[in-house]
Amino acid sequence: MTQTLSDAVVTNLEVVKADSGVRRTRLREFQSQLVERMQAAQRGGYTKLSQLGIMVGQVRYLLDLREAGEIVSVGTLTKVPLTRDWYVGLSNIRGNLTSVVDLPRFQGRDATKQDTSCRIVAFAPGLAFNSGLLVSQVLGLRDVAEMEEFSSVSGAQDEKPWLPRQYRDRDGNFWFELSLATLVQDNDFLQIGL
């Protein structure tokens, strides 16, 4: 039996559609598992020492799941005039205007390069601070019990109380614990206007 060109194209399209459907299903499963864990942590029912790993620029951070809210694609950001350069703008997240901050710029470093892998990690509603961080990449859950706590040589704890601890994982990567609850109390962070 001979197969026509149109039959071959239809067969190949069905394979591609099935393959992308499998990827989409796996992504949905991962996202739903992550949401379940984050919600359990916010309720206090998640006792494991897991934290959300994010990368901002080339720096890895760990966020307490009780302080991290929704994770969304960057989408359109509306610039706000007369604000500091680290205040990226406003984003509409499920009907709520959310301030978006570039953490490296806030720290006086180069701005985060925005591309398709960038996300906004919103602050948890319990912090009562409608803001989010522009992150280069969400790296998933990390278990700090499997990491070695590292003493900061530079005295970053005194300078930045919102970075209370530093860890090194088994692969030798360094991670900074980022306390969003402490960050929202920082006077410099609260002053977005010029």
The CATH number for 116's domain is: 2.40.50.180
On whether the CB atoms of residues 75 and 81 are closer than 8 A, the answer is: no
Same domain, 96 and 135: yes
Helix ranges, the chain (H): 5-43, 103-106, 156-159, 180-183, 187-190
Same domain, 148 and 81: yes
Q: What is the pLDDT of residue 42?
A: 57
Q: Could you give the angle at the alpha carbon of 61 between the alpha carbons of 58 and 67, nearest 5°?
A: 145
Q: What is the pLDDT of residue 8?
A: 42
Which segments in the chain show pLDDT lower than 50?
A: 1-6, 8-18, 45-47, 155-157
On whether the CB atoms of residues 64 and 179 are closer than 8 A, the answer is: yes
Q: What is the pLDDT of residue 143?
A: 92
Same domain, 13 and 53: no
Same domain, 10 and 98: no
* Owning domain of residue 108: 48-190
Same domain, 39 and 52: no
pLDDT tens track for 52-104 = 999 998 999 999 999 999 999 998 899 999 999 999 999 999 888 999 999 99
Same domain, 123 and 37: no
Q: What is the pLDDT of residue 188?
A: 93
Q: What is the pLDDT of residue 85?
A: 94
Same domain, 77 and 135: yes
Q: What is the pLDDT of residue 32?
A: 64
Q: How many CB atoms lie within 10 A of CB 51?
A: 24
Domain count, the chain: 2
Same domain, 54 and 115: yes
Same domain, 52 and 106: yes
Domain end residue (candidates: 47, 62, 85)? 47
* 111 DSSP 8-state letter: P
Same domain, 3 and 81: no
